[in-house]
Chains A and B, each alone.
Chain A
Amino acid sequence: MLFLSQLINGIQIGSIYALVALGYSMVYGIVKLINFAHGDIIMMGSYAVWFFIARLNLHPAVSIVLSILFCAFLGVAIEKVAYKPLRNSPRISLLITAIGVSFLLQYGMQLIFTPNPRMFSNLFPGQLPIGNFSISNATLVTIGVSICMMVLLTILVNRTKMGKAMRAVSEDNEAAQLMGINVNNTISFTFAIGSALAAVAAVLYCCSYQQIEPTMGSMLGLKAFVAAVLGGIGSIPGAVLGGLLIGIAESFTKGYLSSALADAVVFGILILVLLIKPAGILGRNSHEKV
């Protein structure tokens, strides 16, 4: 029974990691940047939903849609203002800028909303009994919504014109331009999708943990980053697989070893991946044909 409930917990938090890891992976694929501000987009999304519901008294569904749009817009704006001017600079400048943006968001929000945690009420209360066992509705919604998002994203990337352009730009920016693809628009679109997924992850996370604070995005973001690296950064199925594996590993550590060790296990996995298979489980080492 403990095994099953830990497994379900693991899949639940793993689905959230997967949604966030998808954003890391897509952005990395297209601009070769580890966007360390991505975790803070989750925080911004959480505050947006909270603000719309608790302060403006909007309907939760309206609030969720608005916060997804807000995050998509924020992601595009960050790319245009902070990353685009550095597109031809060394990658390290871009990485440092991303960390800067992360700090700006965290401390900006502390300034506006104070560093104190806020309560976030679960939008999907109650639970579903299965025999002598029960699963919370929030968990079911999290897993269901995550699966839907992943299916939609897969269709978007593999079937639509914009998705194919994203893959083309990821692989060869210059050749994509020669096809007539507007690379700037494609990059903006990628940031918008990644940030929208982060907003969805934010809602799901808040329903289970019911507390938000300006620094909440950094640990969540880091774990999702580990998930993206584990699965193979740049790979969409890799991000999903990595997210689920990290979530399950964390949950089992909490259940069978100790809660205090959970983070150590997650980052231990990162070290192991980097030592044994730096490209990740589904990552491919690029090779050229002559």
Chain B
Amino acid sequence: MMLEVNNINVFYGAIHAIREISFQVEEGEIVTLIGANGAGKSTILKTVSGLLHSKTGHIKFLDTDISSANAYSLTRMGLSHVPEGRRIFQELSVEENLEMGAYTRPKGEIRDSMADVFDRFPRLKERRRQVAGTLSGGEQQMLAIGRALMSHPKLVMLDEPSMGLAPLLVEQIFDIIRELNQAGVTILLVEQNARMALQVANRGYVLETGRIILSDEADRLLTNDSVKKAYLGG
């Protein structure tokens, strides 16, 4: 089992944001969490990556309990989180952003990983010395994904990778997700674009106000009447 989340409850002060959530991600899968704005999707990812902590239950990554681990220690274990809004380091150059992605790895291995990222995203190579804040939105998303790959992750968690991007770029991002998965990376995808997410995923969980209300194979969710009505525009 790549990731096992068991009965977590997360609070923001007095607000009960995540209620008794459990789900699993198997090795090699693409799993998606879909739901409306504010359903708690990003909170779940932040809890898995250790930026927030659950009051109950446990989270296991590759059979190690990470419920109370610090965020920075998980990168080394092979967990990578591309946060909502990309969160690249705007004042660092493209190359420095990628170096930060490889922060936990020995210097000798960085060059090869960077070459891999540049192969995948040639635009980033052209702009390697440029300050990241000057990149376009799409390029910034590629940088955010490239930066996450620099740590050589086993599981990548992507939070709204299509947000704010033009349709053509959205297609491109989803192609990249497929390619990464074929290369052996397990993916946990949070998306508001439920149709695209379910098309690329193996399985999906539907969230509503902090609870999982439905879980199934992705293609069955695509034809599920209530999912169609609520998230796929009828």
Contacts and interface: CB of A to CB of B under 8 A. Distances in A.
A266 B25 CA distance: 61
Interface in A140-164: 161, 164
B140 A178 contact: no
A171 B92 contact: yes
Interface in B92-109: 92, 96, 99-101, 103-104
A53 interface: no
A179 interface: yes
A176 B103 CA distance: 10
Interface string B47-72: 00111000000000000000000111
B38 interface: no
A180 B76 contact: yes
Given A172-B87, A289-B137, A177 B147 contact: no
Interface in A92-113: none
B51 A177 contact: yes
Contact of B101 (A174, A179, A182, A289): A179
A290 interface: yes
A167 B92 CA distance: 8
Nearest to A286: B90
Contacts of A8: none
A161 B104 CA distance: 11
A87 B197 CA distance: 37
Interface in B74-92: 74-76, 80-81, 83, 87-92
A39 to B, nearest CB: 28
Interface size class on chain A is 10 to 19
Contacts of B92: 164, 167-168, 171
A165 B103 contact: yes
B71 A177 contact: yes
Interface in A253-290: 289-290
A176 B151 CA distance: 13
Contacts of B101: 179
Interface in A165-221: 165, 167-168, 171-172, 174-183
A174 to B, nearest CB: 6
B151 A179 contact: yes
Contacts of B184: none
B133 A181 contact: no
B164 interface: yes
Contact of A164 (B73, B76, B80, B99): B99
Contact of B89 (A161, A171, A177, A183): A171
Contacts of A177: 50-51, 70-72
A161 B99 CA distance: 8
Contact of A180 (B103, B140, B164): B103
Contacts of A174: 51, 71, 83, 87
Contact of A175 (B76, B83, B104): B83
A177 B72 CA distance: 5
Contacts of A176: 100
Nearest to A174: B51
Contacts of B100: 164-165, 168, 176, 179, 181
Contacts of A164: 92, 96, 99-100
Contacts of A181: 72, 100, 103
Contacts of A179: 72, 75, 100-101, 103-104, 147, 151
Contact of A178 (B71, B133, B137, B164): B71
Nearest to A176: B100
Nearest to A284: B91
A144 to B, nearest CB: 30
Contact of B164 (A167, A183, A290): A290
Contact of A290 (B96, B137, B147, B151): B137
B140 A289 contact: yes
Q: Which 8 A-B pairs rank lowest in CB-CB distance, beginning with the nearest?
A: A180-B75, A180-B104, A177-B71, A175-B87, A179-B100, A180-B103, A179-B103, A177-B72
Interface of B: 49-51, 70-76, 80-81, 83, 87-92, 96, 99-101, 103-104, 133, 137, 140, 147, 151, 164
28 contacts: A161-B103, A164-B99, A167-B89, A167-B96, A168-B100, A171-B91, A172-B89, A174-B51, A174-B83, A175-B83, A175-B87, A177-B50, A177-B51, A177-B70, A177-B71, A178-B49, A178-B51, A178-B80, A178-B81, A179-B101, A180-B73, A180-B74, A180-B103, A181-B100, A182-B72, A183-B72, A290-B137, A290-B164
